[in-house]
Amino acid sequence: MLMATQVHLVKFSTTCCLSKSTIPTTNCSGTPRGVLLVNWSPSLPSESTSSSRIMMRDRSKNRKPLQKGRNLSIEAIQTVQALKRAIKTHDNSLVHHVFDSNFRRLLKLDMMAVLRELLRQQQCLLALKGFEEMRKEYWYKAQVSLYADIISVLGSNGLFEQVQLLVMDLKSESSLEPDIKGFNALLNTLMSFKMTGLAIECFYLMKLVGCEPDRLTFRILIKGLESDGETSLSATLRQEAQRYYGQSLEFLEEEEEEMALS
């Protein structure tokens, strides 16, 4: 009779071990024979192998964060591209067709994203048309900050007539919220374009909708008027600022960032 053979632990490599043993069994004739079983178990790497280990770098750490309003959907991207192609043809009927077939079918967030992307690309006429269509939507709610963004792009491209028309639209809005940051941004934009008359109109508009001016509001207007030589208007606003903050108007000498944080 054959004896069962026993195989001791054999070192396979520096990273794994093979444990070999046999169990008795029989062949077809009933004669027992040895069957080799192999058990694999990993072992800890040695210092030599760990020192040469290849480390994979996480590329996600190199990705820049998405900018606000720039994470466009496929439908939004296609709409922007279609509008830009249409306007290059100088065919107004084609531009209207793209707005009807593409822009108006977008969801609210996509429509907003398309508008901001058009503004970013300085596509002023398309942005104005898009804003006009957006105001017809049932979910539309007037935002002073959005008006300020559009006016900033229009003024930067010298479209001051369109700025005046847009301010008229702003004054006709029936549901303006008292957004002090939005109004301050709007006033600052108008004063930077030397459009003091419109800035004063928007100043009284903000008071009309219940948005009380803060120190930054008065600083933007007074400093802007004085730099333009509008001493009479500046004096009038100084008197109004004193009714809010007393005789001392030291905040007029503060930096805008300091007042914004205070």
List pLDDT tens digits, range 222-261: 999 998 888 899 999 999 988 888 877 777 776 554 555 4
CATH number of the domain at 83, please: 1.25.40.10
148 shares a domain with 135: no
Per DSSP, helices labelled H in 106-143 are 108-120, 124-134
- What pLDDT is attached to residue 41? 47
More confident residue, 207 or 59: 207
Identify whether 58 is part of a domain: no
Identify whether 90 is part of a domain: yes
234 shares a domain with 211: yes
CA gap 183, 202 in Å, rounded: 8
Identify whether 64 is part of a domain: no
Kindly report the pTM of this predicted structure. 0.70
231 shares a domain with 128: no
Identify whether 50 is part of a domain: no
The residues near 140 (Cβ < 8 Å, ≥ 6 apart) are: 134
159 shares a domain with 211: yes
List Cα–Cα distances, 258 to 65, 141, 154, 179, 261, in angstroms. 28, 31, 29, 19, 5
AA letter at 193: F
18 shares a domain with 94: no
The residues near 243 (Cβ < 8 Å, ≥ 6 apart) are: none
226 shares a domain with 166: yes
129 shares a domain with 23: no
Identify whether 98 is part of a domain: yes
- 1-15, 113-127, 247-261, range with greatest mean pLDDT: 113-127
DSSP track, 214-244: -HHHHHHHHHHHHHTT-HHHHHHHHHHHHHH
The torsion angles phi and psi of 164, rounded to 5 degrees, stand at -60, -40
249 shares a domain with 170: yes
- What pLDDT is attached to residue 25? 47
CA proximity to 169, closest of 215, 205, 203: 205
- What pLDDT is attached to residue 65? 38
Residue 125 has pLDDT above 60, yes or no: yes
Identify whether 47 is part of a domain: no
Identify whether 55 is part of a domain: no
List pLDDT tens digits, range 52-82: 455 544 444 443 433 444 579 999 999 999 9
126 shares a domain with 174: no
160 shares a domain with 123: no
Q: Which domain holds residue 98?
A: 72-140
Long-range contacts of 212-215 (CB under 8 A, 24+ apart): 212/178, 212/180, 212/244, 213/180, 213/244, 214/180, 214/184, 214/259, 215/245, 215/251, 215/254, 215/259, 215/262
Residue 3 has pLDDT above 60, yes or no: no
244 shares a domain with 217: yes
Mean pLDDT value of segment 4-17: 40
- Range with lowest mean pLDDT among 42-56, 87-101, 146-160: 42-56
178 shares a domain with 228: yes
Q: How many domains does the chain have?
A: 3
Identify whether 56 is part of a domain: no
Mean pLDDT value of segment 78-92: 95
List pLDDT tens digits, range 146-195: 999 999 999 999 999 999 999 999 999 988 999 999 999 999 999 999 99
More confident residue, 47 or 141: 141
Query: Any idea which residue has 């009927």 for tokens?
Result: 93
